[in-house]
């Protein structure tokens, strides 16, 4: 799909967007442009206009079909990450606990993991 583009965050936030409320307007103007071509500006490429509209409709259909799959991938990724983090915390806490009993290697492991664990900032009172 070499025709796909990437917008910046700024581009995504600003400007007009075609959606459920404006789609009927675009459909009707395209219909009218065929019936009343004298209202089409001379610099308007009607073939490109219709092509853009068709691409929007086609990609909207694909997006509607892929969105549930994409959401499932996001949800699965989130859950797998949570489970991996929970087990890592269990391991880290076990290493800290056995380090108190001077188990060989436990202090080094818990110290190293303690440096890597993103601690929460202390709340100011």
Angle at 97 between CA 94 and CA 102, to 5 degrees: 115
What's the pLDDT tens digit per position in 19-57?
A: 889 999 999 999 999 999 999 999 999 999 999 999 999
Give the lowest-confidence range in 19-28, 82-91, 115-124.
115-124
pTM as predicted: 0.66
Q: Which whole number is the average pLDDT over 87-114? A: 95
Q: With contact defined as beta carbons under 8 Å apart, do 99 and 110 qualify?
A: yes
pLDDT at residue 119 greater than cutoff 80: no
**Cβ neighbour number for residue 95 with a 10 Å cutoff:** 20
State the pLDDT at residue 76: 98
pLDDT at residue 110 greater than cutoff 90: yes
| Percent of the chain residues past pLDDT 90, beyond the cut | 76
């Amino acid at each position: 799909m070499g025709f796909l583009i990437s917008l910046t965050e700024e581009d995504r936030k600003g400007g007009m967007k075609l959606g459920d409320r404006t789609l009927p307007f675009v459909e009707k103007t395209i219909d009218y442009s065929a019936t009343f071509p004298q209202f089409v500006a001379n610099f308007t490429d009607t073939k490109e206009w219709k092509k853009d509209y068709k691409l929007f409709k086609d990609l909207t259909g694909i997006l509607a079909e892929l969105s549930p799959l994409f959401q499932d991938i996001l949800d699965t990724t989130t859950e797998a990450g949570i489970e991996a983090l929970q087990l890592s915390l269990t391991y880290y806490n076990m290493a800290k606990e056995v380090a108190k009993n001077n188990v060989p290697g436990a202090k080094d492991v818990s110290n190293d993991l303690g440096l890597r664990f993103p601690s929460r900032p202390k709340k100011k009172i």
